Amino acid sequence: MSLGGSETAKKPYVSIDDLYRKSTQFQMWSFTKSALEETKKKANENGTKVAKQRLLNEYNNLKESNRTLFEQYPQELNIDTIFDPLTFEEEQKYLHFYCEKIITTADFFNMATQVKATAMSFFKKFYLVNSVMEYHPKNILYTCLFLAAKLEYYFISIESYCKILPKTEPKDILDLEFIVLLSLKFTLLVYHPFRPLYGFFLDFQAVLLHPSPLMYDVNVDKLGHLYNQAKEWLNKYAIISYVGFMFTPPQIALAAMYDIDKRITNKYLQRKYLREQLDAIKEEQDEKKGQDEQKHQDEQKHQDEQKDEEVTDDNQSLESQQRTQYETIVRTIVKCIRIAKAETQTSLQESKDIDRKCFFTLNPAKMMNKKIKKLSSGTE
């Protein structure tokens, strides 16, 4: 966007996109859909291994002290029967449930959208590296929100924070803060689609309303309404989904606009990517011609004929290039919308079941003792 001062000599134009590509968000936390899926699966597999080891330690201890019972119930007390880790799907559902909880918790504290969105990003990143079978999501959620509030300038003291959270001590959160930071690989700046959305709101006005309105029924109010609805869309779909890991903030912002009003957004994109650039080419051509005229008068005619051919060739390839670019953008946006809206619905009962399962993978002793108690009372 802006000129790079004396750096201009080397590179005349550094775009926002160029800068974004240098961000840690792009370099370390952007994935293709399949790579993201793979990363989540790996976290689940790893968590399963850790949970199994944890259970095994408990199991061997108890087997030692309850030898007869274990011999009596080889079936019920078989390690493979007992071990019941969260499947990949269950873990994703569970995480989704907690993502929604981030929103309700943040809303309860009246925290700004920025804090909410950053906390959500932290939470998801944490579970791309770890599993709920290693760290229970409840305190991780609270820690992410606390950290996000600190980093987004809505600081809340740990005491007043914990006073309001159910059954949570400062230590529960402060002990996790560093662990969360490590999992985030110390990358703490998160780019959200809200600012680009505002930028598009301004640019929509510039492109669609000036110098004269392009669409008979589109005015500032209409665009303002579109902007507000798109903002809600981001809150409802974008923040909670994983689109931030697959698309750039401007792409997500455009997706919101497109899903709210396809007609207006399409007009904007066409104008921006097809028409606008065609205008630019025309100017360039005129300029070229002007320069040529000054040069070799004699050869002009001959040259011009040649040039004209070249120019039309160029023109066609450029036009098709632009069309491809335009189509790529629309395809990307549509894909983004689909992913944002493909949320997993989890019923309360389902969440409760998964919650129990998670509790036992994290606390195998409790589960084993319960089982042993039940079995030994059954023998009496």
Residues forming contacts to other proteins in the complex (CB under 8 A) are 1-7, 14, 19, 22-24, 50, 112, 114, 129-130, 134-135, 146-147, 150-153, 155, 157-158, 173-174, 177-179, 181-183, 186-189, 191-192, 194-195, 198
**Tokens 């809150």, residue located:** 235
Pick 194 or 242: Cβ nearer other proteins: 194
Work out how close the CB of 77 gets to other proteins at its nearest, in angstroms, rounded to a whole number. Answer: 28
Token pair for residue 256? 């919101």
Q: Minimum Å distance from CB 343 to other proteins?
A: 25
Instruction: Give the nearer residue to other proteins in terms of CB position, either 5 or 166.
Output: 5
Name the phi and psi angles at 7, rounded to 5: -65, -15
State the nearest-atom distance from the C-beta of 114 to other proteins, in Å: 5
Residue closer to other proteins by CB (options 198, 326) is: 198
Residue 31, C-beta contacts closer than 8 angstroms, at least 6 positions apart: 39, 245, 246
Minimum distance of other proteins from residue 299's CB (angstroms): 40
CB nearer to other proteins: pick between 231 and 357 = 231
Under a CB-based contact definition with an 8 Å cutoff, are residues 30 and 245 in contact? yes
Q: How many CA atoms lie within 13 A of 235 on its CB side?
A: 15
| CB contact set of 274 (below 8 Å; sequence gap of 6+) | 322, 323, 326
Angle subtended by helix axes 300-341 and 249-260, to nearest 10: 80
Return the number of other C-beta atoms located less than 10 Å from residue 256's C-beta: 30
Residue closer to other proteins (CB basis): 108 or 178: 178
Q: Which is nearer to other proteins, 174 or 280 (CB)?
A: 174
Shortest distance in whole angstroms from residue 83 CB to other proteins: 19
d(CA 354, CA 91): 8
Question: Shortest gap between Cβ of 3 and other proteins (angstroms)?
Answer: 5
